[in-house]
Amino acid sequence: MTKAPLRAVNSEFAFSRIGEGMPQIFSKNANGVARFVIWGSCAALLIAAAIGTVLPRSDLITGVGEPLAQPVPFSHKHHVGQLGIDCRYCHNGVESSSSAGLPATEVCMTCHSQLFTNANMLAPVRASLVSGKPIEWQRVNSVPDFVFFNHAIHVNKGVACETCHGEVDQMPLTRRAHTLSMEWCLGCHRNPGPNLRPPQDVFLMHWQPPADIDEIRRQLIGMLDIHPDTMTDCYVCHR
Amino acid sequence: MSAIAEKGPGFGIDIAALRKQLASGHEMWRSLDEIAGTAEFRRFVEAEFPAIAERLPARPNRRTLLKLMGASLSLAGLAACSRAESIVPYVRQPEILIPGKPVYYATTLSSDGFGIGAIVESHEGRPIKIEGNPDHTASRGATDAVMQAAVLTLFDPDRSRTPLKDGQPASYGHFLKDMAGLFSRWTVSQGQGGALLLDASASPTLAAQLDALRARYPKLKIYRHDPLAIPAAAEASHALFGSALTPVYRFDRAETIVSLDADFLGEGPGRLAYAHDFAARRRVRSPNDRMSRLYAVESTPTITGAAADHRFAIKPSEVEAVAAGLNAALTGQAGRSASPIDQAWMTALADDLKAADRNALVVAGGHQSAFVQAAALSANAKLGALGNTVQLIEPPDALQVDGDLARLCGAIGDGAIDTVVVLGANPLHTAPTRLDAHKAFSSLKFMVHHGLYRDETAFLAHWHVPAAHELESWSDIRAYDGTASLVQPLIKPLYDGRTMHELLAVLGGQFEADPLAPVRQHWAALDDDAWKKALRDCIVPNSAAKPISVTVPPDLGGLRPAAKAADGIDIRFVADPWLRDGRFANASWLQELPRPLTKIVWGNAALISPATAERLKIENGKIINVALNGADIDAPAWIVPGHPDESVTLSFGFGRRAGSVAALAEGYDAFRLRSGAEWIATGATLTPRQNSVRVITTQHHQAMEGRAIIRHASLDAFRRNPDFVRKDVPPSPKETLYPDWPYDQEAWAMAIDLSACIGCMACVSACQAENNIAPVGPDECERGQEMHWLRVDRYYAGPVEAPDTFFQPVPCMHCEKAPCEVVCPVNATVHTHDGLNAQVYNRCIGTRYCSQNCPYKVRRFNFLDHQSFDKDDAGPEQGVHNPNVSVRSRGVMEKCTYCVQRISAKRIQAQIENRDIADGEVVTACQQACPTQAITFGDRNKKDARVVREKSAPQNYALLEELNTRPRTTYLGKISNPNGKLAKTGEATDG
């Protein structure tokens, strides 16, 4: 909006006042109010759009970085970072199944029947073994029911655990490292290259890419028969 | 459908005019209403979504509209809230189980008491899908529609969950205490006054347990009540050879087959194997191929008759005369003309049989009299077929019993029996009315009932004990050819049900019996390794019965045809193809699965011929009173083209008085007209009543407006012109506005062989089980809103009295130029790189434009929330869901996906192993279930793929190809093999 039409309106009012003797409807500051309302609503829309864009992606909504309370305060930092246990010791379905799997109570007890056998912290684990009632963990990384995610294919094609789950060896309590939103998934499905590494290295933490990583990634895409052009078909994830 | 049932009185179809119209004989039609072009039919077909208007208030006012909108807005908000979810790992994870990966177990399901091998897919211990066991003789890798529903009955919330004493919940321990009392009484009295009532079962362990019980209690009586028993074959072989023998047919050897009222493709424990062998002999891909020929003489339209090259419909009581006539014709005595079948026809038939020599086969329907059985055996013997195409074996279900239900009721009436243990049977529903089973059973001092449901019989029992489902049980069972196979549990009993063997062990004093013990004990001869192998395969090796060689005495053992039947209407009783005697009445999948020929769902009707309907002025849906020997029932009439005149077909299975799903069904109880175990009754009367009721059928739904849908030819015509499917077909345009898709990797495609399809509906049932397809109930079906992704259309051609019948399975065509894709405003239906036409449920906003634009009418819309999403709210039935397929909500479109979850699973497997997907690796659910292997699926880009070979057959054609949709699903035109000497009107001889 420019000033010219506004002036024209004013002059019209002025004309009518002279001609018909009609009282002025809008006071002088009405112009300011109108400007404020017009610009203000534009700004409000912009802010709303910005909030609408940013908020759903913010950690507040996606829950990224927020550790969840678990029945047993299991620490990946201790088990992975300090002890160096391989991911597959507990998540043993990850190479062959859609689900990586959570360790059965028995798996916990392979070590904890010998170590920290009286620790209070581990009482729920021992109770589970005795009662046969499973431990109910809180799900940290979840996708909606209509998303059919498959761990095996990602791990076998050189997408590392670390790539999606972050540096779990730094997490005293497990937290979500990425949003796991469709936008985030598609980012990699459209261009998987930057997230690939040789499949034998997918279980390594803090993996440092070699100098010729770009060439390696180009080769991996060919060798592993990865087809980025077909990886965005809806049915790849939704069935 | 209802459009017909709802019309006022006096509006009928002019059958005489129809006859004239059909005289030319080449037109295809789906129903009498269609060919007559009634106004109701037009209205129904033209509505894209029939009766949708009924759903909405006629003129929603502003307030209603705002209310509806407000509700959907607030619901949309609620749906966005996510709840914390927990993960529950195992405490001790079984070694072979990896969460997320299905495990497959072999077991055996029972079908009318005989075993059919199955492979069950189990996800984290939850059985969700039944497949056939390729190593099992009765399955050959296929299943039927009923087997598919075994997982549904397993999770049926109506199943009985606790023992009941006089109708009140009680503990199993309490029951055992009462049984201990019975045990000590019987030990003293040697079982005096006690009786067992068994269901049909060919379980060797059961037979052994009964022998042990008999030894323990010499005075205990054992009765068997099988309402669907067909004792005539055993009776005939008793008369002929002095011992009961059962015929087993070898259709893989048969060249010329005559069916004397035998529905060998649709009935009987060997039907899957028979269908497999029958279709294998009729696979024609080039003009040099040969095929067998089937003549069917039948008393009610069946799928066997539909598959026949020549079909002759006669009253059930006249089959004996035909059997006698056939024997006479085979021995050259053409003089006897009592046969209701034209002499020329019979001569040609006999010549054909003689030409086939020992590869001829005459099959007698089990429900026919002992004379017909004997005549068929004698004809086979004359042809030298006995021992070749027909083999006689010891009956696999042989069980030494003291009689049937009638005997038991008599003994109760005499006071000889006062304690009955009913194992599985439901005599209060299935007993003939004449027996007054209610009176007999209510006079008992002590009655125990063991069954899956608290059914009609359980209500009378002093103790009701929930039975373990067959997927929860240890047992064994013999197949039609005597092969013994094991039944192993897929899941621990959900409701603490007990197997029949456990209960028999309790009766024998073993109160702490382990469910496996009696079975393992019976097979003690198998060492542990052999037992494990038998369990893995679920087959006991080399257990099939050995054929017995016999000679047929020329006098047929004194068996004679019955005297000329009384005048009046013949009644032909049949078991409902899915509900059987009513035991599956609570399975919604089966209630909603259209019957092969009538396409009736959620009810049954009295089937009559067009001529009988015309004579009695009966229309579809009109109530008729069927009276026989003082008993009568009211049933809605349904006119079936090709039904024999002056005869009515009544089906068992409906009219149940227990079960919440069964209660939704409409229908009559045909057992009330039965006086014993007979399948045929004569001298009935039909009286039309004034009123009509709705009979729900899906035969008009998704009609394709009479274009060249089915293409068919006789074998001779095919040999003359292998390209018959191209004849008189508008040329399909080649140019298109849309650019072609590149298919660099796979290009999935399907071929459906219409010659092999027998219309058994196994594919539809399998699709429902695999893809979480919701049953919708009778009212929705009536509106044409059933959700089946795959339908089997039934077409007729020729005169109404003797039409040719065709079946055509119609899944999504997965068009390369799909009309649905271009009209979706939100891109919810998209083309994938391998040619699938994918539906994205989360994008779909329910405009239904895609369905409107689909020429094949294969899309289904969720008008209602048919299945609950809330896991706490959904009940045990959610257990049946396939975890790899989304459960759809209201307001979204869905359709066949070519089982994309199976493609994805195999692709991921192949990608992990860094190889291509092999041909035959991806098998769709419909393909896997099909007993005749009519469906082929694979990658069209592979040169040697089976689907490419099928599609290169000369009779391959695409449905409505003139629309240039370029469907990926194509059909192989039907080829039949009629006898050139027997031309009949309307016969498909010239394509």
Across the range B36-53, mean pLDDT stands at 59
Mapping DSSP onto H, E and C, the string for chain A reads CCHHHHHHHHHHHHHHHHHHCCCCCCCCCHHHHHHHHHHHHHHHHHHHHHHHHHHHHCHHHHCECCCCCCCCCCCHHHHHHHCCCCHHHHCCCCCCCCCCCCCCHHHHHHHHCCCCCCCHHHHHHHHHHHHCCCCCEECCCCCCCCCCCCHHHHHHCCECHHHHHCCHHHCCCCCECCCCCHHHHHHHHHCCHHHECCHHHCCCCCCCCCCCHHHHHHHHHHHCCCCHHHCCCHHHCCC
Q: What's the pLDDT at B79? A: 42
Q: Are B676 and B405 in contact (CB under 8 A)?
A: no
Q: Are B306 and B808 in contact (CB under 8 A)?
A: no
Domain membership of residue A65 (yes or no) is no
* Residues in chain A closer than 8 A to B882 (CB atoms): none
- Indicate if the alpha-carbon torsion angle B422, B426, B429, B432 is positive or negative: negative
Q: Are B575 and B144 in contact (CB under 8 A)?
A: no
pLDDT exceeds 60 at position A2:
no
A239 to chain B, closest Cα gap in Å? 6
pTM of structure: 0.90
Nearest residue of A to residue B829, measured between CA atoms? A234
Domain membership of residue A165 (yes or no) is yes
pLDDT exceeds 70 at position A16:
no
Does an H or E element contain B198, and which?
A: strand B194-198
Q: Where residue B752 sits, what CATH number does that domain have?
A: 3.30.70.20
Closest Cα partner for B485 from B115, B139, B142? Answer: B115
Q: What's the pLDDT at A170? A: 93
Q: List pLDDT tens digits, range B261-288.
A: 999 999 999 999 999 999 999 999 999 9
pLDDT exceeds 90 at position B860:
yes
Find the Cα–Cα–Cα–Cα dihedral A14, A19, A23, A27, rounded to 10°.
Answer: 0
pLDDT exceeds 60 at position B346:
yes
> Quick check: A104 and B92 CB within 8 A?
yes
> Quick check: A234 and B838 CB within 8 A?
yes
Q: List pLDDT tens digits, range B809-819.
A: 999 999 999 99
Of A103, A152, A233, the CB nearest to B912: A152
* Residues in chain A closer than 8 A to B745 (CB atoms): 227, 230
**A95 and A122, same domain (yes or no):** no
Q: What's the pLDDT at B10? A: 37
Q: Which of B393, B408, B427 is the last residue of a domain?
A: B393
Please provide the distance, in angstroms rounded to a whole number, between the alpha carbons at the two ends of chain B.
Answer: 30
Across the range A170-183, mean pLDDT stands at 93
Range with the poorest average pLDDT among B183-187, B281-285, B987-991: B987-991
**A157 and A47, same domain (yes or no):** no
- As beta bridge partners, residue B274 has none
Q: What's the pLDDT at B789? A: 96
Domain membership of residue B110 (yes or no) is no
Nearest residue of B to residue A154, measured between CA atoms? B912
Domain membership of residue B924 (yes or no) is yes
**B732 and B834, same domain (yes or no):** yes
Q: What's the pLDDT at B735? A: 84
Q: What's the pLDDT at B650? A: 96
**A119 and A151, same domain (yes or no):** no
How many Å apart are CA A74 and CA A82, to the nearest integer? 13
Q: What's the pLDDT at B336? A: 54
pLDDT exceeds 60 at position B60:
no
pLDDT exceeds 80 at position B37:
no
pLDDT exceeds 80 at position A125:
yes
pLDDT exceeds 70 at position B990:
no
B858 to chain A, closest Cα gap in Å? 18
Q: Which residue has the tokens 């456990």?
A: B502
If one counts every other C-beta atom within 10 angstroms of the C-beta of residue A116, the result is: 12
pLDDT exceeds 60 at position B249:
yes
* Residues in chain A closer than 8 A to B842 (CB atoms): 146, 238
**B846 and B746, same domain (yes or no):** yes
**A157 and A118, same domain (yes or no):** no
**B650 and B663, same domain (yes or no):** yes
Domain membership of residue B153 (yes or no) is no
Overall number of domains in chain B: 3
**A89 and A179, same domain (yes or no):** yes
Q: How confident is the model at residue B444 (pLDDT cuts 50, 70, 90)?
A: very high
**A127 and A181, same domain (yes or no):** no
**A161 and A176, same domain (yes or no):** yes
Domain membership of residue B450 (yes or no) is no
> Quick check: A136 and B87 CB within 8 A?
yes
Q: List pLDDT tens digits, range B867-926.
A: 887 777 788 888 999 999 999 999 999 999 999 999 999 999 999 999 999 999 999 999
Domain, as residue range, for B311: 246-393
The better pLDDT of the pair B560, B157 is held by B157
List of long-range contacts for B209-216, beta carbons under 8 Å, 24+ apart: B209/B501, B209/B504, B209/B505, B209/B508, B209/B518, B210/B399, B210/B400, B210/B504, B211/B400, B212/B508, B213/B504, B213/B507, B213/B508, B216/B187, B216/B191, B216/B508, B216/B509
Provide the 8-state DSSP code for B806.
E
B275 to chain A, closest Cα gap in Å? 33
Q: What's the pLDDT at B334? A: 59
Is residue B673 exposed (0-12), middle (13-18) or buried (19+ Cβ within 10 Å)? buried
Q: How confident is the model at residue B24 (pLDDT cuts 50, 70, 90)?
A: low
Q: What's the pLDDT at B561? A: 82
Q: Which of B393, B419, B436 is the last residue of a domain?
A: B393
**B961 and B898, same domain (yes or no):** yes
pLDDT exceeds 70 at position B706:
no
Across the range B950-964, mean pLDDT stands at 92
Across the range B829-842, mean pLDDT stands at 94
Across the range A186-200, mean pLDDT stands at 93
Interface of A with B in 8-67 (CB under 8 A): none
Task: Please count the CA atoms within 13 angstroms of the CA of B966 that sit on its side-chain side.
Answer: 15
Range with the poorest average pLDDT among B263-277, B332-346, B563-577, B665-679: B332-346
Q: List pLDDT tens digits, range B65-76.
A: 666 555 555 444
pLDDT exceeds 90 at position B787:
yes
Q: Which of B348, B373, B393 is the last residue of a domain?
A: B393
- Name residue A196's amino acid: L
Q: What's the pLDDT at B567? A: 78
pLDDT exceeds 50 at position B989:
no
Q: How confident is the model at residue B701 (pLDDT cuts 50, 70, 90)?
A: low
Q: How confident is the model at residue B806 (pLDDT cuts 50, 70, 90)?
A: very high
* Residues in chain B closer than 8 A to A227 (CB atoms): 745, 833
Q: Which 3 state secondary structure label does DSSP give B580? A: strand
**B598 and B679, same domain (yes or no):** yes
Q: How confident is the model at residue B467 (pLDDT cuts 50, 70, 90)?
A: very high
Q: Which of A235, A236, A237, A238 to mutate to test the interface with B (most CBs of B within 10 A)?
A: A235
Of A160-169, B83-92, B974-983, where does the model show the most confidence? A160-169
Q: Which of B81, B87, B829, B916 to mutate to test the interface with A (most CBs of A within 10 A)?
A: B87
Q: What's the pLDDT at B4? A: 34
pLDDT exceeds 60 at position B48:
no
Domain membership of residue B604 (yes or no) is yes
Domain, as residue range, for A190: 74-101+141-236
Interface of A with B in 90-119 (CB under 8 A): 92-93, 96-99, 101-107
Q: What is the mean pLDDT of chain A?
A: 89
Q: What's the pLDDT at B292? A: 95
Q: What's the pLDDT at B983? A: 66
Across the range B376-404, mean pLDDT stands at 92
**A120 and A82, same domain (yes or no):** no
Domain membership of residue A62 (yes or no) is no
B143 to chain A, closest Cα gap in Å? 25
**A118 and A194, same domain (yes or no):** no
Domain membership of residue A66 (yes or no) is no
Chain B interface includes A135 (CB < 8 A) = yes
> Quick check: B86 and A145 CB within 8 A?
no
pLDDT exceeds 60 at position A13:
no
**A118 and A197, same domain (yes or no):** no
Overall number of domains in chain A: 3
* Residues in chain B closer than 8 A to A151 (CB atoms): 100
Q: Which of A234, A236, A237, A238 to mutate to test the interface with B (most CBs of B within 10 A)?
A: A234
Across the range B958-977, mean pLDDT stands at 92
Q: What is the mean pLDDT of chain B?
A: 89
Q: What's the pLDDT at B910? A: 95
**Cα distances (angstroms) measured from residue B223 to each of A210, B111, B260, B441:** 80, 20, 31, 14
Chain B interface includes A128 (CB < 8 A) = yes
Q: List pLDDT tens digits, range B652-688.
A: 999 998 888 999 999 999 999 998 889 999 999 999 9
Q: Which of B88, B98, B770 to mutate to test the interface with A (most CBs of A within 10 A)?
A: B98
Across the range B586-605, mean pLDDT stands at 95
- How many residues are present in chain A? 239
Q: What's the pLDDT at B729? A: 78
**B690 and B713, same domain (yes or no):** no
pLDDT exceeds 60 at position B991:
no
The complex scores an ipTM of: 0.86
* Residues in chain B closer than 8 A to A93 (CB atoms): 98-101
b/e for B421-440, b at 16 or more Cβ within 10 A?
A: bbbbbbbbbbbbbbbebeeb
**B643 and B773, same domain (yes or no):** no
Nearest residue of B to residue A128, measured between CA atoms? B91
The better pLDDT of the pair A171, B982 is held by A171
Q: Are B458 and B372 in contact (CB under 8 A)?
A: no
> Quick check: B838 and A96 CB within 8 A?
no
**B882 and B795, same domain (yes or no):** yes
Q: How confident is the model at residue A127 (pLDDT cuts 50, 70, 90)?
A: very high
A138 to chain B, closest Cα gap in Å? 4
Domain membership of residue A69 (yes or no) is no
pLDDT exceeds 80 at position B240:
yes
**B654 and B717, same domain (yes or no):** no
Q: What's the pLDDT at B83? A: 54
Q: List pLDDT tens digits, range A152-175.
A: 999 999 999 999 999 999 999 999
> Quick check: A150 and B908 CB within 8 A?
yes
The fraction of chain B above a pLDDT of 90, given in percent, is 74
Domain membership of residue B351 (yes or no) is yes
